[in-house]
Amino acid sequence: HQGATAEAPAGAERIGAGIGRISNLVLDRGEGSWLYTTDGEKYLDFSTGIGVTNLGHCHPRVTEAVREQLGKLWHAQVNIAFHGPMLELTKKLEKVMPKGLDSFLFVTTGSEAVEAAVKLARHATKKPNVIVFQGGYHGRTLLTMSMTSSGTKYRAGYGPHASGVFVAPHPFFALHSVPSQPDHAQWAVEQLEIMLQQQTAASETAAVVLEPVLGEGGYVPPAPGLLQGIRDFCDRHNLLFIADEVQSGFGRTGRMFAVDHSNVSPDILVFAKGVASGFPLAGIASRRALTAAQPPGSQGGTYAGNAIACAAANATLDVMMAPNFMETVAARGEHLRKGLEDLRARYPEVIQEVRGPGLMIGLEFHQVPKGFAQQMVKACLARGLILLPTGIFETLRIIPPLIVSKEECDAGISIFKDALEACIK
């Protein structure tokens, strides 16, 4: 796979340097779990465009729905009129959302959706501050960048940051090197209680915002009891609980949403990425009691809830809601995890942990040189497998499309093993 080490293509110099990328591949087309370059090379895609193409590239049902919508109406601006695909989508979303979430606002990107969630929380509670978690990633706009602490690369040089954001310690980082580990959930809630006494009083805190599975922060699933602990904390102090499911949502974890692994319903659920298989659509799900008071016109956007994107989302949900779809995702996750666990058993001195639900798998190395995860990304790429690093420790995320076959999982593991053996030589 020559593309893995190719020079940047002509034209790259006209694209701003602020956009980093892990390769100089020039992609031409995609199909299922595979991406093809303009040079005709073929790559197994275990990055899914960062958790977006959950049904694989160019799923035929989505292609068909988009084609049909293309011939009818592209742009039906939300502040002007309703359109069919959005009305239909609200019906489908209500069916798959955690209990009680029956009101939807659509926007275009995950960052915008997080912003919309914070705006709603502030408006509904009449309180200004939000608590976020260490290691969280919520976007690149001013407010969401200010809420992001997965890495300083997203923030450095771009201050001053938005006010009203308080960062709670996350047990994964705070206790990462503590030998005797306390109960993480209890510890985290104690820290939240301390924050209300030291930094932002309950009377001025609107919400707690959490990624149920930390994404850019390192693929960290919630400690047992953490979501319930935060839910109870929010209820005790009259705060809203916002779950940012932009990366963990739409089947990634083997359930429709990561919160579905517990009995916890957030007050606001933020979604994007997987909802429309790659068409730009995002939004928030909340309760009518919260959204009803928002002044008309205070939410929206030119492309918010674009008709083609909504049509793509409807087809995406149809596929995901089919019988046994999620069971298969969970089973495929087990299969992939087992393969990676076998590798860990073979190389325990370099692979520390394989973690995460469903097909949202993180693999953390230890006792390796700094930059090892990046080196592994390159070594996998050179062998035809695309995957991404994550977090500040040496960690990879392994996120194939949810429709990945057993054989493709095995092919991925085999490439991974080769790459690992080359990197530790």
- The contact set with ligand PMP (CB under 6 A) reads 50, 109-111, 114, 137-139, 211, 215-216, 244, 246-247, 272
Query: Which strand (E) or helix (H) includes residue 179?
Result: none
* Helices then strands, each counted (H, E), the chain: 13, 15
Q: Which is nearer to ligand PMP, 211 or 364 (CB)?
A: 211
Kindly state the DSSP code that residue 4 receives in the 8-state scheme: G
- Which of 350, 349, 415, 352 lies closest to 387, judged by CA? 415
Q: What is the CA radius of gyration of the chain?
A: 21
Residue 419 identity (one-letter amino acid): A
| CB of 93 vs ligand PMP, minimal distance in Å | 18
Q: Which is nearer to ligand PMP, 111 or 277 (CB)?
A: 111
For residue 312, what are its two tokens? Answer: 């793509």
| CB of 294 vs ligand PMP, minimal distance in Å | 21
Q: Which is nearer to ligand PMP, 45 or 216 (CB)?
A: 216
Cβ(243)–Cβ(259) below 8 Å: yes
Comparing every residue's Cβ against ligand PMP, the nearest one is 110
Q: Which is nearer to ligand PMP, 108 or 291 (CB)?
A: 108
Distance CA 136, CA 161 (A): 16
Q: Which is nearer to ligand PMP, 131 or 351 (CB)?
A: 131
| CB of 82 vs ligand PMP, minimal distance in Å | 24
Cβ(164)–Cβ(130) below 8 Å: yes
| CB of 397 vs ligand PMP, minimal distance in Å | 11
| CB of 132 vs ligand PMP, minimal distance in Å | 11
Q: How far are the Cα atoms of 26, 41, 387 from residue 383, in angstroms, in the given order?
A: 16, 11, 11
Q: Which is nearer to ligand PMP, 144 or 265 (CB)?
A: 144
- Which of 231, 301, 298 lies closest to 263, judged by CA? 231
| CB of 213 vs ligand PMP, minimal distance in Å | 9
